Amino acid sequence: MKLHEYANFDATGLAELVRKREVTAEELIRLAREAHDQLNPTLNAVIEFYDDAESAPGSHEGPFVGVPFLRKDISSTEAGRLFECGSQLYQGFRPVVNSYFVERARAGGLRIVGRTTTTELGVSGLSETALCGITRNPWNLDRTAGGSSSGSGAAVAAGIVPTASSSDGGGSTRIPAAYCGLVGLNPSRGRLSGGPSAQDPGHGISRRFVLCRTVRDMAAALAGC
């Protein structure tokens, strides 16, 4: 598969290719890395693409089997991975547990390959922080990608990955979706589980979910949560 072909598929389409054994998860991750290396120096959407991304864990089943996925660097944690919340206050912090959202993403077949930029502590609708710098809109580099799910919106719109994590309390998923031409949804309170220890709040102001390019991807993500 060529990079331009990869960028034209949504997550559902890529997963179907993996199930048919027309492409492997490792090949898709290598393509995501290639797209990142070409585009991210201009966009600054991804704060870290993991060096060991090709070995990222994930189920061999699920609606998004083998699909590369980026984690917004706030709200959801990966054990041992940096979690800096777009803030110098959190710089270097590594949680020791996986959030329930991360566990569910992996169970659905997604392979988490890196972290996306976010506004500081998720409190702004723009896309610039002292820690991350400016995240630019791939449709117009002079425009903001919105926030607080800035990097996720820019990365998905640019084709680095077909879907990425987001969270929304006051528009942090919906603003980047609108600015970057994506599908974004803030599920109703209680629609998504926060897990047995409620480590991912689903009943409060903010809910964790995804940004994607197609309605069918959004429907599959909602059905799988």
Residue carrying the six token digits 């994930």: 58
pLDDT confidence band for 190 (50 / 70 / 90) = confident
- pLDDT > 90 fraction of the chain, expressed in percent and rounded: 84
- Of the candidates 148, 149, 152, 165, the residue annotated as catalytic is 148
Provide the pLDDT for residue 198.
57
The mean predicted confidence, pLDDT, of the chain is: 93
Given a contact cutoff of 8 angstroms between Cβ atoms, the answer to whether 191 and 148 are in contact is no
Taking residues 65-78, what's their average pLDDT?
95
pLDDT confidence band for 206 (50 / 70 / 90) = confident
pLDDT confidence band for 211 (50 / 70 / 90) = very high
Given a contact cutoff of 8 angstroms between Cβ atoms, the answer to whether 7 and 92 are in contact is no
Q: Which of 207, 156, 160, 143 is CA-nearest to residue 183?
A: 156
Query: In order of start, what are the domains of the chain with their CATH numbers?
Result: 3-224 (3.90.1300.10)
Provide the pLDDT for residue 43.
98
Please state, in angstroms and rounded to a whole number, the distance separating the CA atoms of residues 133 and 22: 38
For 14, phi then psi, to 5°, come to -65, -40
- Of the candidates 72, 99, 124, 152, the residue annotated as catalytic is 72
183, β-bridge pairs: 212
Q: For the segment 95-128, what is each residue's pLDDT rounded down to a tens digit?
A: 999 999 999 999 999 999 999 999 999 988 888 9
Taking residues 166-181, what's their average pLDDT?
95
- 172 catalytic? Reply is yes
- 20 catalytic? Reply is no
Provide the pLDDT for residue 169.
87
Provide the pLDDT for residue 207.
85
- pLDDT > 70 fraction of the chain, expressed in percent and rounded: 94
Check whether 172 has a pLDDT greater than 60.
yes
- Of the candidates 99, 165, 166, 172, the residue annotated as catalytic is 172
- 188 catalytic? Reply is no
- Residue 79, CA atoms < 13 Å, CB-side half-sphere: 6
Provide the pLDDT for residue 189.
76
